[in-house]
Amino acid sequence: MPVKPAAARTPKTADLDAVLEAMIFLYSESRRVTRTVAEKYGLTGSQLLVLKMLEPKGRISLSELSERIRAKNSTVTGIIDRMERDGLVLRRRSDEDRRVVHLELAPKGKKLAAGVKVDPMRLFRALLEDLPARDAVELERIVLQMQRRVREVLASGWTPEDPRDQTTDKPA
């Protein structure tokens, strides 16, 4: 959707601006909390997320990991290269499809993951759990709807420079 000039904002869009600012704040704080915890263990925020994702799953494909952390395979490959070099993860080719690479924690990675008792998302999870049930259900519905819509818009090839209004496909 196009960004409206300040003069064209209505009270409703002013409220939407507050929602967007809150979303940016939550995103920034989640990254800051993750980075702070990760640094205590000599990791990057991305490495900590990978460790904590692999810990309960045991094994995950590189493509699935890329999807879950919303990063390109090439970006995830760089993270995994460093983690493999540091003895934290192992790469294993799939027996069924040699193109598929599975990741699992190496013994050193398992030990480190077990030692990191802090879940970087714990604060947000606790706050969400404190919401009244009706609010939690409504928030889930709205956030998942936004997630689907963002995926649709991005899959259409839209970029921030695109002048089309994604709801109507007309020029903004």
Domain residue ranges of the chain, discontinuous segments joined by +:
6-130
pLDDT at 167 over 60: no
Question: pLDDT digits over 77-128, tens only?
Answer: 999 999 999 999 999 988 888 888 899 999 999 999 998 877 657 778 888 8
**166 vs 130: which has the higher pLDDT:** 130
Q: Is 0.75 topped by the overall pTM?
A: no
Instruction: Name the nearest CA neighbour of 89 among 97, 81, 101.
Output: 81
Q: What confidence score (pLDDT) does residue 105 get?
A: 95
Cβ atoms 88, 106 nearer than 8 A: yes
Average pLDDT of the chain? 84
Tell me the CATH number of domain 6-130, given options 3.40.50.720, 3.40.50.2300, 1.10.10.10, 3.30.450.40.
Answer: 1.10.10.10
- What is the rounded CA–CA span in Å between residue 161 and residue 172? 11
- What letter represents residue 22's amino acid? A
